[in-house]
Amino acid sequence: MTATIIDGKAFASALCKAVAQSVAEVKASHGFTPGLAVVLVGEDPASQVYVASKGRETIAAGMNSFEHKLPAETSEAELLALVAGLNADEAVDGILVQLPLPKHIDTNRVLAAISPDKDVDGLHVVNAGRLATGQPSLVPCTPWGSMLLLKATLGKMTGLEAVVVGRSNLVGRPLAQLLLAADCTVTIAHSRTRDLASVCRRADILVAAVGRPHMIRGEWVKPGATVIDVGINRIPAPERGEGKTRLVGDVDFAEAKDVAGHITPVPGGVGPMTIASLLANTLTAATRRRGLPEPTDFAEACAELMRAG
Ligand code: GUN
């Protein structure tokens, strides 16, 4: 059997389109333009690439993008002062501080300083708490994007066994909460889990979010399962030439695709969904902050756009 590939790129492009339509409606009926502020401290090359694409996509969706690039030596106090300014800025609906931050800055203190209502990364403890207690919240982008792919693939998930490998605040924990809210039976597995292979083999939905290349083997996958690979690992690729690299996931794709029912590739699976979800979160934050009705049900809007081609 060969799994159906879940085309995250096509789905993300449908989601961006749905967000852009919603932004246009909001502008026309309420006369404001949602704005996203992205803060980058230091010169991490991968982060620079992400931040540049976030800015480009934000503008493409019809929203304002405010980029703040600070030197690596920026003090925590200076960063906190910038965040306070963005909290107070009426033109800013969403604030994202790109992680990782330099070591001399306390990440938790910075995340806690962001207004929860502008926290489009969903990393503030208030949003994590709202999500864990089933209240409307801003949800971290990668988990939210992964759920959209799952909903489009599986429809209702009631009663399914979901195993999330990885317990990070950015992905594993919030994704487990979302799966629970979708009535799955959820297991969070991690580096200390006993007999990880057999835990994974129970899963109708298997999510890999550990950051270890090719860790999940084909024989760990239950036949027909839906596999969501959140990993983005850069590994040497001497076959492409000296010093070249390539991106691979946490799942051994070549093995798993012969067992799974549906699987996300890397690249082109969950990755493209992250920025699309950020745009959706920014619009949601903008409307909630003004007491306006929630934007469209994006899961439904995307599914429709995908069906329409
Ligand atoms: N670095 C890698 N992924 C993310 C993300 O989703 N949000 C932020 N703020 N930083 C990241």
Asked which of 244, 263, 282 is the last residue of a domain, the reply is 263
Identify whether residues 172 and 112 lie together within a single domain.
no
Residue 132 lies in a domain: no
pLDDT band at 309 (very low <50, low <70, confident <90, very high): low
Active-site option among 98, 204, 252, 257: 98
Residue 200 lies in a domain: yes
Cβ(99) to ligand 1 under 6 A? yes
Looking at the fold, whether 103 and 68 belong to one and the same domain comes out as yes
Task: Tell whether 148 and 249 lie within a shared domain.
Answer: yes
What CATH number is associated with residue 52?
3.40.50.10860
Residue 65 has pLDDT above 90, yes or no: yes
Instruction: List the 226-229 sheet strands across, edge first.
Output: 4-5, 262-263, 226-229, 205-208, 161-165, 185-189
Mean pLDDT taken over the chain: 96
Region 69-98 average pLDDT: 98
Nearest alpha carbon, ligand 1 atom 9 = 98
CA 245 distance to own-chain centroid: 24
Confidence of residue 299 (pLDDT cuts 50, 70, 90): confident
The H or E element spanning position 152 is helix 141-154
Is residue 273 within 8 A of residue 146, CB to CB? The reply is yes
> Which pLDDT value is given to residue 21?
95
**Is residue 308 a part of any domain in this protein?**
no
pLDDT at residue 295, as a whole number: 84
Residue with CA closest to ligand 1 atom 11: 99
Q: Does 149 lie in the same domain as 258? A: yes
Q: In angstroms, what is the span from residue 142 Cα to ligand 1's centroid?
A: 9
Residues 80 and 168 in one domain: no
Is 141 a pocket residue for ligand 1 (Cβ < 6 Å)? yes
Q: Which of 44, 53, 54, 98 to mutate to test the pocket of ligand 1 (most atoms within 8 A of CB)?
A: 98
Q: Is residue 127 part of a domain?
A: no
Residue 246 pLDDT exceeds 70: yes
With a cut of 70, say whether residue 55 has pLDDT above it: yes
**Sequential DSSP letters for 190-250:** -TT-TTHHHHHHT-SEEEE-S--TT-B-GGGSPTT-EEEE---EEEE-GGG-TT-EEEE-S
Q: What is the pLDDT of residue 306?
A: 72
Ligand 1 center to 239 CA (angstroms)? 30
pLDDT digits (tens, 9 = 90+) for 186-214: 999 999 999 999 999 999 999 999 999 99
Cα of 99 from ligand 1 centre, angstroms = 5
101 domain residue, yes or no: yes
Examine the domain organization and report whether 149 and 245 are in the same domain: yes
Does 76 reside within a domain? yes
Spatial CB neighbours of 152, under 8 Å, sequence gap ≥ 6: 6, 11, 299, 302, 303, 306
156 and 237 in one domain? yes
**Do residues 160 and 227 share a domain?**
yes
Q: Is residue 282 assigned to a domain?
A: no
Asked if 236 and 187 sit in the same domain, the reply is: yes
Q: What CATH number is given to the structural domain containing 240? A: 3.40.50.720
CA distance 10 to 15: 9
Same domain, 158 and 240: yes
Specify the number of domains making up the chain: 2
- Judge whether residue 184 has pLDDT over 80: yes
Asked if residue 105 is part of any domain, the answer here is: yes
Q: Which domain holds residue 212?
A: 141-263
Average pLDDT of span 275-285 = 97
Determine the Cα–Cα distance for residues 122 and 211; give it in Å rounded to an integer: 20
Q: Residues 148, 250: one domain? A: yes
Nearest residue CA, atom 4 of ligand 1? 99
Distances 251 to 3, 158, 270 between C-alpha atoms, Å: 14, 25, 13
Task: Read off the pLDDT of each residue in 217-233 and give the average, rounded to a whole number.
Answer: 98
